[in-house]
Homo-oligomer: A and B are copies of this chain.
């Protein structure tokens, strides 16, 4: 058997060879643990590589033949092997890697499970494997992965033999789980989407998301990237790699962990699932379209591999239907995702009225009734409307009524098509549509998902972030409320006028001062160790005379276990308004994160909060404010509307504060009141992390 040069269109070109090219586009592969026995993983792996155009060496001490290939009894007998696929038990992996090193092998896939995901014993073997691979200079995928598939180069190293016949295409997938990598590859194939590269990371002791993203960003044969994420190890590295990738091509990500699946997840690839909300926010901020299921991932990739719009905050979607009912379903699903269809210009509507019978709806969506020969002209009119950036088309497959390639072809690159009909007819349609660069989706829901993905991809790139900053300061200890407010004032935030009182006499003097003219004040305990002041009787609102002040001070003095000597904070009452929570935390994976949420009961009820990585650009902060519910944003029942710029500045300040101070674990401004004069910080907490470990509960 002689070496066959890999096919064209490879992961990397020789002149810019990526370090992982040798893994995903090897000229020679050894399967260590190859087996002649059908059903064994070591047999399936050789079967899966049956279309590999290079040299294939089964390796097994027993020798013999596997599927016609002579078996090497040891990897040491080989020469010129680029990639060793190890289908051996965990405890045999270190020795196999040493053999590989001696044979000059440069990359390995380790399929076995039983490493860190299985407990301390496995973790020890995993550490040894990592060390041996690193010392040997062998790049390693896994362990605990099913492998990878590169159908473009007919290099399908995975233990499911059917991968050898996966259709080649331009979508690449990086899945944390080898099983999901396989599942996704077949789901994509079912949707008519070919694969360029699919890699399962497994325990990812070497090759991980960031490096693969960089590989795929450079890979001209990849037009869209899908990610399956269970947990992230190095948040900033992932974000940076994603930013580089999404600048060049679309990325769609599915994050596991909406519900609490941490126990099962740990047993699976050893990954902690991390904060679902923070991870989603980080992925989106880095430009990835985040979806809620693998099914949505497939529909989004089917569209984005062909259709990517220029970055823009507003994207106008047109919808053209051959049948009104499915069109209504698409319109509804888009609306539920916050995507409304803009009305078409008068000129467009006039043009359409000339093309269609008067009984149809022509404002957007445009319903053609049963498709007629004017369908392509109607599409042209919709697509050329100044408000429209991308057009979704739904029409059942009616060969006599509509030729979709002819009708949609002129709008290719800006049009998505969904249809229904018998499988054979649709398979034939798909060939033509593929050639024309028009994505074909399987139904109304997939079309809505795909349109939303195209819109989101373009919108995400329209908001630019500022680069992360290195923290240059520390606070040393958690601040009391007065100190915390003094700090946030230094970042430009507004607080009510206040006085610190070290004893009762000072408190009465402060009341006289702040309460001039009959104003009422708030009296609080001032103690960094009392976190939930209200719950322990540490906050007294509306104090206006000496007797009431004494009652308040009595109550504060009665708080058990508070620090000594007891101190008090007196503040003027702020003007009325809705209350929000502005906060920041240092996420253990992604670093500083700013949060904006609803205050009061709504927060207790898990009211929706917006999260973004800090520091925030002006546009990013405005985007967070815009995510508030309309009732809050525009005011309700007499509460003032939000001053968007002013609140955005509050968010930026909090993001800067936590970014600047390396030891701040949490900033909690709760509430920030939206007064007619702008946002005012009514309470402030700045928590410094303990010297070691993570402060998150």
Interface residues of A (CB under 8 A from B): 38-39, 41, 43-44, 113-114, 117-118, 122, 146, 159-160, 162, 165-166, 175-183, 185-187, 189-190, 200, 228, 230, 256-261, 264-265, 267-269, 293-296, 322-329, 331-336, 340, 359-361, 365, 367, 369-370, 396-398, 400-401, 420-423, 425, 442-446, 535, 578, 598, 600-602, 604-607, 629, 631-632, 636-638
Contacts and interface: CB of A to CB of B under 8 A. Distances in A.
B336 A259 contact: yes
Contact of A332 (B258, B444, B637): B258
Contact of A324 (B165, B179, B370): B179
A38 B190 CA distance: 32
Contact of A602 (B162, B259, B602): B602
Contact of A445 (B264, B267, B295, B401): B295
Nearest to A362: B267
B605 A629 contact: yes
Contacts of A294: 329, 443-445
A183 B443 contact: yes
A302 to B, nearest CB: 14
Contacts of A421: 160, 162, 186
Contacts of A331: 259, 261, 264
22 contacts: A41-B370, A44-B398, A44-B400, A159-B370, A166-B422, A180-B326, A181-B325, A183-B443, A186-B396, A189-B422, A190-B442, A200-B325, A259-B332, A264-B327, A268-B367, A269-B324, A578-B601, A598-B601, A601-B602, A602-B605, A605-B631, A606-B631
A44 B38 CA distance: 51
Nearest to A254: B329
A146 B326 CA distance: 13
Contacts of A295: 295, 443, 445-446
A113 B296 CA distance: 34
Contacts of A422: 162, 165-166, 186, 189
Given A180-B329, A189-B423, 4 more contacts: A178-B323, A181-B325, A267-B324, A606-B631
A395 to B, nearest CB: 9
Contacts of A256: 328-329, 332
Contacts of A340: 259
A258 B328 CA distance: 11
A92 to B, nearest CB: 15
A446 B296 CA distance: 11
| Most chain B beta-carbon neighbours within 10 Å: one of A185, A602, A638 | A602
Scoring A178, A183, A600 by chain B CB atoms within 10 A of each residue's CB, the highest score goes to: A183
A326 B601 CA distance: 37
Contacts of A177: 323-326, 328
Nearest to A146: B323
A566 to B, nearest CB: 23
B228 A175 contact: no
A361 B267 contact: yes
A228 B325 contact: yes
Closest 8 CB pairs of A and B: A177-B325, A259-B335, A179-B323, A179-B325, A186-B420, A180-B325, A39-B400, A293-B445
A277 to B, nearest CB: 13
Contacts of A183: 323, 325-326, 396, 420, 443-444
Nearest to A398: B160
Contacts of A332: 256-259, 261
A187 B325 contact: no
B361 A264 contact: yes
Contacts of A264: 324, 327-328, 331, 361, 365, 367
A267 to B, nearest CB: 4
A324 B261 contact: no
B401 A268 contact: no
Nearest to A598: B605
A598 B165 CA distance: 55
A66 to B, nearest CB: 14
Contacts of A185: 420
Contact of A325 (B175, B336, B367): B175
Contacts of A178: 323, 325
A337 to B, nearest CB: 9
Nearest to A338: B259
